[in-house]
Amino acid sequence: MTMKIATILGARPQFIKAAALSRVIRKNPQFKEIIIHTGQHYDSNMSDVFFEQMQIPEPDHFLQISSKFHGEMTGRMIEAIEKVLLTDKPDVVLVYGDTNSTLAGAIAAKKLHMKIAHVEAGLRSFNMAMPEEINRIVADRISDFLFCPGKQAVDNLTKEGFLNFDSGVFEVGDIMKDVAYFYSPLERQPSFHVPEKFVLSTIHRAENTDDPDRLRSILEALNEISVDLPIVLPLHPRTKGRLSAMDVRLSPSVILVEPVGYLEMVYLLKRCSIVITDSGGLQKEAYFFDRPCITRRDETEWSELVTEGYNKVVGVDADRIIAAKNDFVSKKIAFRKDLYGEGKTAEKIVEILYESLNGKSI
């Protein structure tokens, strides 16, 4: 029997994660994948570039929904995804991570009594002010297959009583490790000049971009660090908008560039000295490419990286960011490669889905 999988995508990290899983799904003739792009991210350097570079098939449905307001965005997505699911009748709906597209896909599918597979399940920041925390908790609770990237995620679900629910919890490793390993040899040099030694940085988390004091403190730290070590800062459009409305002077050694494609990101990750970010995905990629990471947040979902000493979570205080950078440049870290699986997460997910829904292995 051919199994129909509907994949819901909307934001940059989801295109990147889907690149690995889509390839494995398409290799197996037992599956047919339907890709539904909500339109949450729509600039070509936030969306098209990943489909092109990573050879993700064109979406079957493009819903063109984006908005400033979470309720409006999520509501319109639920309505549009429901229509597609009613017509296409998939056997399982695949959602990734914790964005509004994830939440909308999960709710639309559940109300139609469809099976849901949540990739990157079980993560928690324990900060309910984050829209992502709300999205992931709801998506987890209504999913049938909870694909966890590591032990910590399984423990979180266990503590919340998921073993008593009618859903399956599976530790399968992190899909982003599959992506990093597969695309590493395909790295691409960016079109801008990359300094010999530099810090790779990104800023996009709402709590940082939408609070002028926090954003100012982050920029102050970058200016200071750039005196010794230039910063390459690909700017998320949300941050670009906020920066243009602020009266701040950035040092010329803070090199602002447009968002880059994944292959350019791999190039930068392999050559940078340190990553300083508030991104979820980048914290893990720093680890995959043996780079220490400073996280400008008050907590992280990826606590294993902190315990192992690969990541310092320091908030946005400029002095703390600078102290963390000084500490990392003064020592050499030995990265053990055993976190988040072996880079075979996509295969595991596909096998589990096929076996559970068909009663036999692929």
Q: Which of residues 194-213 bind ligand UD1 (CB under 6 A)?
A: 204, 206
Should residue 136 be labelled a site residue for ligand UDP when binding is judged by CB under 6 A? no
Should residue 214 be labelled a site residue for ligand UD1 when binding is judged by CB under 6 A? no
Cα gap 265→184, rounded to integer Å: 10
How many residues bind to ligand UDP according to rule CB under 6 A? 16
Should residue 242 be labelled a site residue for ligand UD1 when binding is judged by CB under 6 A? no
Cα gap 32→47, rounded to integer Å: 22
Should residue 268 be labelled a site residue for ligand UD1 when binding is judged by CB under 6 A? no
Give the contacts of 68 (CB within 8 A, at least 6 positions apart).
Answer: none
Minimum CB distance to ligand UD1, residue 350 (Å): 25
Should residue 237 be labelled a site residue for ligand UD1 when binding is judged by CB under 6 A? yes
Answer for the pair 317, 151: CB distance below 8 angstroms, yes or no: no
Should residue 110 be labelled a site residue for ligand UD1 when binding is judged by CB under 6 A? no
Report residue 228 as tokens: 């010794």
Cα gap 292→33, rounded to integer Å: 37
Q: Could you tell me which stretch among 120-128, 220-228, 253-261, 315-323 binds ligand UDP (CB under 6 A)?
A: 253-261
Type of residue at 269: L
Measured from the CB atom, is 256 or 329 closer to ligand UD1? Answer: 256
37 included as an active-site residue = no
Q: Which of 33, 120, 132, 133 binds ligand UD1 (CB under 6 A)?
A: 132
Longest dimension (CA), the chain: 62
Cα gap 223→299, rounded to integer Å: 24
Should residue 341 be labelled a site residue for ligand UD1 when binding is judged by CB under 6 A? no
Should residue 260 be labelled a site residue for ligand UDP when binding is judged by CB under 6 A? yes
Should residue 76 be labelled a site residue for ligand UDP when binding is judged by CB under 6 A? no
Q: By three-state DSSP, how is residue 171 classified?
A: strand
Q: Which helix (H) or strand (E) holds 350?
A: helix 345-358
Type of residue at 243: L
How many residues bind to ligand UD1 according to rule CB under 6 A? 19
Cα gap 11→89, rounded to integer Å: 23
Residue 336 C-beta-side C-alpha neighbours within 13 Å: 9
Should residue 301 be labelled a site residue for ligand UD1 when binding is judged by CB under 6 A? no
Site of interaction with ligand UDP (CB under 6 A):
12-13, 16, 202, 204, 234, 259-262, 265, 279-282, 285
State the catalytic residues. Answer: 204
Residues near ligand UD1, by CB under 6 A: 11-13, 40-43, 46, 68, 98-100, 131-132, 204, 206, 237-238, 241
